[in-house]
A and B are shown apart, each in its own frame.
Chain A
Amino acid sequence: MEHFLGLSGVLFALGFYGVLARRSAILILISVELMLAAVSINFITFATYLDPERFTGVIFAIFAITIAAAEVGLALGIVLRLFRDRGTSNVDAADELKW
């Protein structure tokens, strides 16, 4: 169980690092996906080891995956709008709103 939780912790940290370090909106989205994958691993691990007779965690993971997919579709739509406005998907170009 510790191994799985460790893996999920590392994935979450990597995703968070990616969000902070990447400048392309698409790569930031992929990093967010990484964080959500870490969540799913966590849920399934807890469900398997701590709560084997019910499967709440697994159901939660399925919902998390589905909602994450919806989120990516939606975010890509908004990135497209930015791309049409500015000709780039780089988040540094989105600098009109400050303070």
Chain B
Amino acid sequence: MSEVVQFNYSLLVPEYVLAVTAGVVLLADAFRAELKLGRGTVPWMVVAGAVLTVLASIVTAGRTGEFAGLFAVDAFTTFFRVLLAATLAVVVVGSHEFVTKHIRHQGEFYTMLVFATLGGTVMAASRELLTAYIGVELLSFSLYVAVSLAKRDPRSGEAGLKYVLLGGVASATLLYGMSLIYGAAGSTSYGLIAEHLAKDSEGVHMALVLGLAMVIAGLGFKASAVPFHMWTPDAYEGAPLPVTAILSATSKAAAFALILRLFAGPLLPVLRDWQWMIAVISLLTMVFGNLIALQQTNIKRLLAYSSIGQVGFMLMAVVTMSDVSASALLLHLGGYLVTNLAVFMAVIALYNQTGSEEISDMRGLAESNPYLALVIAAGLFSLSGMPLLAGFTTKFILFQAAASGGYLWLVSIAVIMSTVSLYYYLQVVRQMYVLQADGSLIDPQSPDVNGPRWRLTATGYVVTAGLLAGVVFVGLYVSPLAVAANRAAAALFS
């Protein structure tokens, strides 16, 4: 039993970089006066850490490691490391001005964002239940705190409270489900669970099905699938905008990373037991998310319900689990992240100017800042799946994968719901392009009459332009992202 275990720790450099960044940022902010650091230093340290993480992930991309079946470093992990660290960098750059004005305890705020990213990469890499659980909690705890950090906004504390209480229940449910799966399979390692369940799952069937249901409920909460979505709109609305962006990007991506690892690996032998559960949840999620979105007046809440609808589409690919649909899911996740970040960064820039989150206050934006209106419109069109933009290509491939997996009825409903989503996205576009600030229609003969034009900050331009370019790039030329998604999915099933 006393064999020496040799691990190649250099494969964990991206995680080390993130952890060190979090610690350094926290200390640097605490001793800012003594170190004579400027106000902008701390966020740039976070950005540097995130960029280093991306570079380190790319450098280690070719190599794989197992870490005794606990923690897999492979193409799948690399995909999520790059995605999540890039998200962190973009959000921090794009929200610097917002954070200075509206966040108390900025050092802690940035630390929490970094820890959330770290939790996400751990979730993507874990191949064992305990490791996965620690990743989940690292991500969730950081976000509980980050949600409640808005200055002078009672909604923030309320959102944090709802999120932490419901999150606690969800974690307990997830853990109980994990304990039942451990009881049924006799191990917490994904490899051993798969072996055991492939051999026989008859004798322990009850416990297994109950455990699966509870794990799905817990993970459904993290991914905000209906009927476990209740916290999502409240947390999105109450949280400061950059945190909402992280909630919609990092938290979703990490939840799907964990779902893919779990359901494509150890739970694949018992596909029949969970396939119908996810199919039902996927159906409910896409229907309710999109229908409730129709009546929203707050842009954050609208995006919350729209992201719930998107989760419904993504869950379709989990239902028809195969390497094709996993790759389609990863691709759609990538496209969704770029698009969603573009919308959120534009909304943050808008909020810096107007201080309002109501959709009705976006009236006349096409006049006062045509560029920003264009970014928001392009992002929303991409979310609804308009051709030429990222959302169309990735959604098309996703629907195709689900349809060829034999769930044509689910895909038909998804197509209908996708059309419904166009309606509420267009409502926002209408406010920006058709109405003037006082609510009257724009007169095409004499435009430019009311409302002075205003400009974004330089970083605002750079971030939104970069993301807009990303949205168009993925829409027109999808193959680089598709190749990465394919490789990641292949690693998942190897």
Interface residues of A in 35-51 (CB under 8 A from B): 35-36, 38-39, 42-43, 45-46, 50-51
Quick check: is A64 within 8 A (CB to CB) of the other chain? yes
Residues of A within 8 A of B157 (CB): 78, 81-82, 84-85
Contacting pair B148 A81 (CB below 8 A): yes
Contacting pair A46 B175 (CB below 8 A): no
Contacting pair B168 A32 (CB below 8 A): yes
Quick check: is B191 within 8 A (CB to CB) of the other chain? no
List the one stretch of B128-136, B269-277, B342-350, B447-455 in contact with chain A: B128-136
What does the 1/0 interface line of B159-185 toward A look like (CB < 8 Å)?
111101100110111011011101100
Interface residues of A in 13-41 (CB under 8 A from B): 15-16, 19, 25, 28-29, 32, 35-36, 38-39
Residues of A within 8 A of B179 (CB): 39, 42-43, 46, 57, 60
Contacting pair A25 B161 (CB below 8 A): yes
Contacting pair A28 B165 (CB below 8 A): yes
Name B130's contact: one of A12, A16, A63, A91 (CB within 8 Å). A63
Provide the bound-state CA to CA distance between A59 and B134, in Å.
Answer: 13
Residues of B within 8 A of A97 (CB): 155, 158-159, 162, 233-234, 237-238
Q: How far is the CB of B184 from chain A (nearest CB, A)?
A: 9
Residues of A within 8 A of B238 (CB): 97
Name B182's contact: one of A56, A79, A82, A86 (CB within 8 Å). A56
A45 nearest in chain B by CB position = B183
List the one stretch of B137-145, B314-322, B433-441 in contact with chain A: B137-145
Provide the bound-state CA to CA distance between A60 and B187, in Å.
Answer: 11
What does the 1/0 interface line of A60-99 toward B look like (CB < 8 Å)?
1001100100110011011101101110000100101101
Chain A residues bordering chain B, tally (CB within 8 A): 42
Provide the bound-state CA to CA distance between A94 and B171, in Å.
Answer: 22
Quick check: is B154 within 8 A (CB to CB) of the other chain? yes
Q: How far is the CB of A69 from chain B (nearest CB, A)?
A: 12
Interface centre among A25, A70, A97 (most CB of B within 10 A): A97
Known: A75-B165, A85-B154. A70 touches B182 (CB 8 A): no
Q: How far is the CB of A41 from chain B (nearest CB, A)?
A: 9
Q: How far is the CB of B93 from chain A (nearest CB, A)?
A: 28
Residues of A within 8 A of B148 (CB): 78, 81
Provide the bound-state CA to CA distance between A7 and B186, in Å.
Answer: 20
**25 contacts across the A-B interface (CB closer than 8 A):** A15-B172, A19-B165, A25-B165, A38-B172, A38-B176, A39-B172, A46-B183, A51-B186, A51-B187, A56-B130, A63-B134, A71-B164, A74-B144, A74-B164, A75-B164, A75-B168, A77-B145, A78-B144, A78-B160, A79-B161, A81-B160, A91-B165, A94-B161, A97-B159, A97-B234
Beyond contacts A94-B161, A97-B234: 11 other A-B pairs, Cβ-Cβ < 8 A, are A42-B176, A43-B179, A43-B182, A46-B182, A57-B179, A70-B137, A71-B137, A78-B164, A91-B165, A96-B155, A97-B238
The interface of chain B, by Cβ under 8 A from chain A, is 129-130, 133-134, 137, 141, 144-145, 148, 154-155, 157-162, 164-165, 168-169, 171-173, 175-176, 178-180, 182-183, 186-188, 233-234, 237-238, 292, 295, 301
Query: What 9 A-B pairs have minimum CB-CB distances, sorted nearest first?
Result: A35-B172, A42-B179, A32-B168, A46-B183, A81-B157, A94-B158, A97-B234, A39-B175, A85-B154
